Amino acid sequence: MLRAFWRASDEAATAEFAARGLAGARIDRIATEARANKQAIYLYFGSKEKLFGAVVRAKMAEISDATEIDPDALAESVGRLFDWYREHPELVRLLLWEALESPREVQGQAELREEVQRKAGYFTEHGAGGVPDPARSQAVQDLMFTVFGLIAWNFAVPQLRRIILDEEDEAAALERRRASVMEAARVLAESHGFG
C-alpha cells in the first residue's frame, strides 16, 4: 500500500515539479493527480520542499541504477546515458529548477555524492589499468562532470539545439548530437589517459 502511494505520488510530483518548479508546484494538484489525500502527502513527506528533494533523489537513483559507466566502453556508456536522458527529460528540468530555487546544499546530497564517488572510484581503478591517486581521481571527476554537461545541455536548451543545428527532423538532430557527444567523451577520455 505504501509502495503504491509513493509510486503514484512520485509520478504526479515529478510531473508537477518538472513543469512548475518548487515555487510553482502545488500539493493539491499532486494529490489530485496521484489520487491521494493532500494531508497524507504532507504526513509522509513533511513539506513540499522535502517532497521535491525526495523526487530529485529518486530520479538520480533511477539514472544511477539504470546506467553504469564502463571504463572499457566509455562511448557506448555515454550513448546509453544520452538515451536515458532523452527518455526522461524531467530529470534535467528538475535539476534546473533545483539549481534556480535551492542553490544551497539540498537534502540527500551526501548520499548522491557517495554514489558518484563510488562510480568515479570504480572508473579510476578499472579504466586503462589505472592506479588510484588524487590527480587521476580528479581527472575522472572532471571527465564525468563534463560528459554529464555535454549530455544534459541537449535537453536543457532544446531551442538552442534547434537554432544551431541545421536539421529539419528532431530525431535526426538528437542522433547527430548523440554521436557527437559519444565521440567527444572518447576524445576527452583519451586526452586524460583513459581508454
pTM tops 0.85 = no
Domain chopping of the chain, boundaries? 53-191
Of the candidates 95, 149, 141, 81, which has an alpha carbon nearest to the alpha carbon of residue 116? 141
What does the block give as the cell for 112? 548522491
C-alpha 43/C-alpha 54 separation (Å) is 14
Average pLDDT for runs of 10 along the chain of length 195: 64 94 95 90 90 90 80 86 93 92 70 68 61 70 87 92 87 94 91 71
**pLDDT at residue 195, as a whole number:** 62
**pLDDT score for 132:** 56
What pLDDT does 86 receive?
Answer: 95
Please classify residue 35 by burial: count the beta carbons closer than 10 Å to its beta carbon, then call 0-12 exposed, 13-18 middle and 19+ buried. exposed
Going by C-alpha positions, the residue among 50, 4, 12, 11 that lies closest to residue 28 is: 12
Q: What is the pLDDT of residue 3?
A: 61
Q: What is the pLDDT of residue 55?
A: 92
Q: Can you give the pLDDT at residue 29?
A: 95
pLDDT at site 137: 75
Q: What is the pLDDT of residue 107?
A: 64
| pLDDT recorded at residue 68 | 76
Query: CATH 1.10.357.10: does it fit domain 53-191?
Result: yes
